[in-house]
Amino acid sequence: MQNAVIYARVSSKDQEREGYSIPAQLKLLREYAQKNDLSVVHEFVDVETAKMAGRKNFGAMVKYLEKSPGCHVVLAEKTDRLYRNLRDCLTLEDLDLEIHLPKEGQIVSKNARSQAKLIHGIHVVLARNYIENLREEVKKGMREKAEQGIYPSRPPLGYRNNKLEHTIEVDPEKVPIAKRMFELYSNGQCSLQGVWKALKREFDVKLSKSHVEKVLKNPFYTGTFYWDGKLYAGTHALTRPLFRDTF
């Protein structure tokens, strides 16, 4: 019986589509291992989100395989679950592994037939193209959102994302901190250092001095914001009266 590792991956959007969830992938791969007399010694899972780029556990899997000479088999649902670019493919190739892709009916290794390697290579290129296209679509979607006046990322102190309505609203818990920050600085009697100390004393918050400076210089509080180097008018300007005493 050969030892094997399982690798499963989803992005936020994949999780919304039936059959792409982590549990679905793991179930398929565990059943495959059992049917093919493979002993799963480790499972690696990556969940990618807009806030977290990169694949931490893909790197962990590579390190594990480098240190585990008794394990040469990797199980992944299909090519685009395992690779995101050609570098990933070459990294695993260098480890001289046997890669099983059940949904594609492929087993790829250095001893595989040339036809299997060709098909696998095509799938790798297609997987890369899919990722590039997805990246372009995400960027396009964020730009469109900005043009509608909605900041397409996490808003600054005092605001929060309303995920149900896809808007930005005032955060009642943190807006007093932001308002006080502007009050202290606008009267001309407090330096950045003084503002930082006052906030720490009055609200017991752990903000860095650079964060305080970033907030005070952010045009978001005047109803505008920068996205990809361009200034946009924000719909969140309706909350501006909260800061009317300091602008």
For the chain, the structural domain boundaries read 2-139, 150-243
Assess whether the region 2-139 and the region 150-243 belong to the same CATH fold. Answer: no
The count of other CB atoms within 10 Å of the CB of residue 215 is: 20
Which pLDDT does position 247 carry in this prediction?
45
Contact 22, 8 (CB under 8 A): yes
Which pLDDT does position 13 carry in this prediction?
57
Measured CA to CA, the distance from residue 33 to residue 98 in angstroms comes to: 13
Question: Yes or no: is domain 2-139 CATH 3.50.50.60?
Answer: no
Which pLDDT does position 63 carry in this prediction?
94
List average pLDDT for each run of 10 residues in the chain, which is 247 residues long.
93 57 93 96 83 74 93 92 80 89 88 69 69 76 91 92 86 91 84 90 89 91 91 75 52
CATH classification number, 150-243, choose in 3.90.1750.20, 3.40.50.970, 3.40.50.300, 3.90.76.10: 3.90.1750.20
pTM for this model (two decimals): 0.54
pLDDT in tens, 126-182: 766 766 776 788 788 899 999 999 999 999 999 999 888 888 888 999 999 999 998
Which pLDDT does position 50 carry in this prediction?
47
